[in-house]
Amino acid sequence: MATSAVAAGATCLVPARCAVAAEDATIAKYGGFRVGIQSNVLSALGAELEPMTQHIADLGLHWVEFAHWHYAVTQDAARIAEVQALLARRNLKMEAYFLGEIGPDAEKLRHTFEFARNNGVSVLVGQPTEEAFPLLDALVKEFEIKVAVHNYGPGHRFDRITDLLKAAAPWDWRIGYCLDTGHAMRSGEPPIDAVRRLGSRLYGLHLREHEAVRRDPQPPETIIGEGALDLKALCRALRDVGFSGPLSLEVYYNRKSPIEPLQRSLANLAEAAQATA
């Protein structure tokens, strides 16, 4: 009854229980996947977290992966409490956090892991330098927080799936991968094959899509499920490798007006996920 009450917009007598019921209903809608938004998708609508989180909640989602330029790493307890209160009001969780480039600054990295712990983040996403990996290896063990190395397409040091595998393989199992399906397509690598190659150390997914799988720095982007990516095959591959991490949409089909493309993408994803559940 709690789920139906939340869905119907009824007054919730036990907010925590209703919040869990709403999350469970959303997970069921997407075939068992925890689907959220990478905050960069909403950049054109403003960088302030108050309206941004409202947009995400209006899409019926409960997870957000903030980029560091929207919510900067901080040791300010008041700022962290403010953001956590905002997320709680929207029934949102920040399970993943995007760092971008990750350098070998030991003090900065420790502060980053402390920030992640204080915000309930379980996966830090980015592109570590070679020198950063030994520091990350120690920190993921100490904090029990994963690091997911993100592919970045043609010209980047993490262009190919082989580059990801080579970089992370020598280190602790908590250092794994975040696959950006769009960047894989730009690199000419089918995302379904990439999922299977990354396997059990695939800790995050950035879901975006292009018109073709070909090596191309700027291929046309599409709505999720309306380009060259076989969504049903992707969902099957994710299940086959036991993927349980956050799945964050990145839809740049219309950067200036992202809501309608996100709505269509979410509908297509729900259909594909349900069909393969």
pLDDT tier at 16 (50, 70, 90 boundaries)? confident
Q: pLDDT value at position 11?
A: 56
pLDDT at 9 over 70: no
Q: What phi and psi values does residue 212 have, to the nearest 5 degrees?
A: -150, 160
Whether the pLDDT of residue 38 is over 80: the answer is yes
pLDDT single digits (tens) 39-61: 999 999 999 999 999 999 999 99
15 falls in which pLDDT band (50, 70, 90)?
confident
* Type of residue found at 271: E
Residue 66 confidence (pLDDT): 98
Mean confidence (pLDDT) of the chain: 94
Q: How far apart are CA 8 and CA 14, in angstroms?
A: 15
Residue 7 has pLDDT above 90, yes or no: no
The fraction of the chain above a pLDDT of 70, given in percent, is: 95
Whether residue 37 is predicted with pLDDT greater than 70 in this model: the reply is yes
Q: pLDDT tens digits, residue range 142-194? A: 999 999 999 999 999 999 999 999 999 999 999 999 999 999 999 999 999 99
Binning pLDDT at 50, 70 and 90, where does residue 6 land? very low
Q: What is the average per-residue pLDDT within 104-121?
A: 98
Check pLDDT > 70 for residue 276. Answer: yes
CATH class for the region spanning 15-276? alpha beta
pLDDT of residue 96 exceeding 90, the answer is yes
According to the model, what pLDDT value does residue 70 have? 97
Tens of pLDDT along 214-265? 999 989 999 999 999 999 999 999 999 999 999 999 999 999 999 999 999 9
Q: Residue 12 above 70 pLDDT?
A: no
**pTM to 2 decimals?**
0.93
Are the beta carbons of 97 and 118 closer than 8 angstroms?
Answer: no
Least confident range from 11-15, 27-31, 215-219: namely 11-15
Give domain limits for the chain. Answer: 15-276
Identify the band that residue 88 occupies on the pLDDT scale cut at 50, 70 and 90.
Answer: very high
**Whole-angstrom distance, CA of residue 270 vs CA of residue 231:** 10
